[in-house]
Amino acid sequence: MGRTTTLVGIAAATALVLGGCASAPTPGGPGTGSASVARVTCEYTVTGGPARPVDPPNGEQVPASGTATVTLSMGAGTITVTLDRSAAPCAVHSFESLAEQGYYTGSGCHRLTTAGLFVLQCGDPGGTGKGTSGYGLSPETGSPLVSCSDGDRTECGYPAGTVALADPEHDGGQFFMTYADSTISGDHPVLGTVDEAGRQVLSQIAEKGFAQGASPSPAADTTLRRVTLG
């Protein structure tokens, strides 16, 4: 039986323990493209067969500063995400690599939650929640967006518009977007934030609720027709 990647709200249960970088940032140097860009080495560990043929990213000289933009063109609307490399460089690098390889294109968001946890979860090409990228990564939990109420990071606030990996220890692919402030464990590496127009699209998806007889799949068309970097 395959593993289903599922986020769990604090009110219901403890969320999955998750995953980032294998080394501290080092300044850029000859051959890195820019002397001002911090770089890290990332470890991507094979966890099984990918849901769609892809290669794990090259973990050498991964940028650890600056931002990038990705546009998610869905049937329900367009969501623009600003990726923050400084908060989770290895997770962002994984996301960019999968997008470039076409891993997300044509897939839909398989899970909508509307009580206690307010997220749209995407990134499984098979649409079941069990499909993975075939590799995982180690912890990156330093995003300033996440505010935790305890030292164990079991109750942490993720503001509306946050984009984070769902279960990076086992899968570098599935991600979620919050359409309202949500309390989850602090172990989900934050990829970045959704723009205001994208937040409205997320809210509209949530308002349409679940597909008839197919909860927790959303009723809205969340097929990722195009995933564009830059």
Cα–chain center distance at 57: 15
pLDDT class for 17, splitting at 50, 70, 90? very low
pLDDT, tens digit, 9 for 90 and up, residues 56-110: 999 999 999 999 999 999 999 999 999 999 999 999 999 999 999 999 999 999 9
Say how far apart CA 177 and CA 168 lie, in whole Å: 15
Report the Cα 207 to chain-centroid distance in Å. 22
**How many of the other CB atoms lie within 10 Å of CB of 3?**
15
Q: Are 158 and 182 in contact (CB under 8 A)?
A: yes
Q: What is the CATH number of domain 39-229?
A: 2.40.100.10
Nearest CA to 101 among 135, 67, 128, 76? 135
> 68 in the Ramachandran plot: left (φ > 0), alpha (ψ -120 to 50) or beta?
beta
Domain range list for the chain: 39-229
Contacts of 207 (CB under 8 A, 6+ apart): none
Check residue 25 and give its pLDDT. 52
The pLDDT of residue 87:
92
pLDDT in tens, 131-170: 999 999 987 987 889 988 877 788 899 999 999 999 999 9
- pLDDT of res. 163: 98
Is residue 2 predicted with pLDDT exceeding 70? Answer: no
